[in-house]
Amino acid sequence: MYNAFTILWAVALVLGVLILIHELGHFIAAKYFGVRVEVFSIGFGKRLLGWRKGDTDYRISALPLGGYVKMSGENPMEARTGDPGEFLSHPRWQRFIIAIAGPAMNIVLAIALLTGVFMVRYEHPYFLDQPAVIGFVLDNSAAAKAGFEPGDRIVRIGNAQSPTWEDVEAKVMLNPGQPLDVAIQRGGQILTKTIVPDKQGQEEYGALGGWVPQEPNIVTQLEPDMPAAKAGMKVGDEVTAVNGLPMRSMRALINYLQQNPGKPLDVTVMRNHQDLHFNVTPVLAHNAHGGDQWRMGFISNPVHVDKLGFAGALSKSIETNKRYSVLILELVRQLVARRVSMKQIDGPIGIARASGEAARQGWMPLLALMAAISLNLGIFNLFPIPIMDGGVILLLAIESVMRRDISMKIKERIYQAAFVFLILFAVVVIYNDIGKALPGLAKFLP
């Protein structure tokens, strides 16, 4: 009951706010230019409840899959009366602003939400925004077979130059089953490798097993009565080497301990910019996954947690939304080229599931998710598909170049085709959602 209630209120909040903001953009712009708004609706279909004020019927409708602002005379198939309150009676530049105002409000909301989140808590793994240096390569893994080694720095992956690990993960994720050229710097040499990310999970995201990012092995928690604590190591120490061998990640350190079971180790740590040495003998003990392995008895979770000022949070929010926008466009490009699966797109069911999970984690994850969905909604509505905002903008641009209106007959055919396309697209997305929610159907998905 708790889970169902959490999902219901979370998805109602997320979709309700995002749809309201989107339609409010159209509404405010239309009112500003004197266009008569007949309906302001959250949802489609049958009117459930609402009120009328002036010329506008404010309503909540039966199907909560979007919303709309119905402006007088906006349908090109309707007869024009010349009434100055009609949408088509206004100059094209005003219609352009009215059309773009909805997506713009969603993009602004995404920036505002992330700015607020970053001002309260900006948390991210240390390695994510660092240069992509490999810290460990698992034996016999795909990365090992491709020839990668610890210490290699990825200087190019696909068309991304000097990538961070976030850039690398995005490229791998969006290229399942597709060969990717990777240039690495090893010593003074630049070497070229080719990787083919595997398809992983129901969404079939790309993944490459076997490589681990380089990150500092900072002691964030010491376990009492374990070898590290007994040897004198402290929270904040950074383990840099064991027996003189550089340790570029916790995975590399764990692997070394298993290969040298129970042997005394010379552990080099950096404390206050000074190298210190400790003699530590690992013991066989439970790990976080419930199994037994050779351990020194400390946990390393190098995560940056900051509270950014307004200027810093705004700058970071704009940068993050810009990067996500590029990823969204890249995903669409890959979809059109049939290089990724439609399973990577979530519909209402996927959004509901993600909203419920984010809500259980707290307000900050929920607001961050709202920002991501708002950005997606804003960009998706700018795609040049007739009926949608981007399609209206495209037709206005064509008419501006032609210096005359497109004929009503042509517009009617364009809108009919676009409507069929959107219905088919919605069916496919919802079908994917159902298949992912009910794994038994997944094998039938394209």
Quick check: 365 pLDDT over 60?
yes
Tens digit of each residue's pLDDT (9 = 90 or more) over 370-404:
999 999 999 999 998 887 899 889 989 998 898 88
CA–CA dist 375, 345 (Å, integer): 14
Tens digit of each residue's pLDDT (9 = 90 or more) over 162-172:
999 989 998 99
Q: What is the pLDDT of residue 95?
A: 93
Structure pTM? Answer: 0.81
Q: What is the pLDDT of residue 429?
A: 73
Quick check: 287 pLDDT over 70?
yes
Instruction: Give the three-class secondary structure for 57.
Output: strand
Confidence of residue 442 (pLDDT cuts 50, 70, 90): very low
Highest CATH level, class, for 217-300? mainly beta
End-to-end CA distance of the chain: 33
Q: Which residues are catalytic?
A: 23
C-beta of residue 114 within 8 angstroms of C-beta of residue 317:
yes
Residue % of the chain over a pLDDT of 90: 44
Confidence of residue 241 (pLDDT cuts 50, 70, 90): very high
Quick check: 445 pLDDT over 50?
no
| Burial letters 125-150, b for 16+ CB under 10 A, else e | ebbeeebbbbbbbeeeebbeebbbeb
Q: What is the pLDDT of residue 439?
A: 55
Per CATH, the homologous superfamily of domain 134-212 is PDZ domain (2.30.42.10)
Q: Which two tokens stand for residue 16?
A: 């309700």
Confidence of residue 288 (pLDDT cuts 50, 70, 90): confident
Query: 29-33, 76-80, 107-111: lowest mean pLDDT where?
Result: 76-80
Taking alpha carbons only, the member of 146, 300, 161, 156 closest to residue 210 is: 146
The CA-based diameter of the chain, rounded to the nearest angstrom, is 90
Q: Where in the chain is the domain with CATH 2.30.42.10?
A: 134-212, 217-300
CA–CA dist 242, 231 (Å, integer): 14
